Structure 1
């Protein structure tokens, strides 16, 4: 009798799970939703990969809400050479070389320098940095970067921590909670989750269109709290967000045995006061 009771309990537990699994596979089979990889094949040369230019779209169920930022194409071999040196750069617009492009980026300059230093080896320095992102995006990219077997990762990030996508001061955040945002990163590729997002955005569309009009700049679209007071709850939440996300990010690379180089970011702390008259810190992208 007890055996039958446990069998019925297990069946009762599995029924809702199987129901949602069936919905997920049905949505995928019907072509609903999207999964945007960090790296894609080069259409002109399939033995090369490149970062997906529009990878930022993975964070938006509605593509119209995504800021117009892309990763400039830079290529690397799908199969890493045995004697190759492969580095990846992560960060925001400064790391990406904005506004001058890949040649003025950390990846571009380092790639040139290393190729001169090691002319007998295949050198690949790959840029995955792009504007308006912060430590959440760096963390989200990590597993896909690890799959490409880098010899090291270089990180130059921090300027966008408050106002970047999913940041505590951003228009694009998940319930103002770091826990909810980390959960969002895990769920975002599920088609059921994307369906729920579509339904939500359909009801919220008029309000969101008004707050993210196409005439506004990327920074204006992303920024919600333009002035964040020093030592305020929001300010401290941004510090905790950065510290926690970087700890998770470095943990991933450490477990994979990949060295990481982190640079302090350039900032003027001596003679440039906050850009407004109130006692607050202006967080600029």
Structure 2
């Protein structure tokens, strides 16, 4: 007499979706990054308005009692090593981490990849509107705040003087896509995986938040607005559901465990 055991179960993508064509996706993702860079550059100018808006944001944060950005920066300035690590994180992690996130999803979770790419596209496109309507100087360029331009003083820096920097728009601080993309990376990996440790992905946006504020590249409000934009995108673009299927059957539907019949004979 043999005990009848339950079949093994495995996580699968819903209905085993096929990966989108690689060349098309490469062009779409490359276009997303290009729109991010060129769109912000097209919004150059309005310097005076950018500084006036910066003063408004600074005073608004103090009025609503948000934490002072100088408190975060003071922690970084306890040693040259820590502040240089923060500057390096700001300069080098943003694009490679997002690209690695999309590549992994494309290879391992195609349905989640399509969802994440759409969310990032919506957030990035929406974020490019604000530099035209609300140009904003970053806190490192704002005098009288007590903040230090850590990248310029300690290095490495990705920006030159605003008057001669033709590769980026330094007056497009609102919203912070550094933080918005980092938060989407964490949310996307939490949604697409089943590891008990997956909440640890939230450390990436947390570190990113401390870095962008501590290096005086962004205000708290920049991250808050980015979070709101991401929330609206996620509310309209829902992630695909992961389903648990019986191994070897590939039904794409949740399985129903069969009872164990301890005394059954064949």
Same fold flag (TM > 0.5): no
The structure with more radius of gyration:
2
The one of the two structures with greater contact order (alpha-carbon pairs below 8 A, sep at least 6) is 2
Q: TM-score, normalised by structure 1?
A: 0.29
Q: TM-score, normalised by structure 2?
A: 0.30
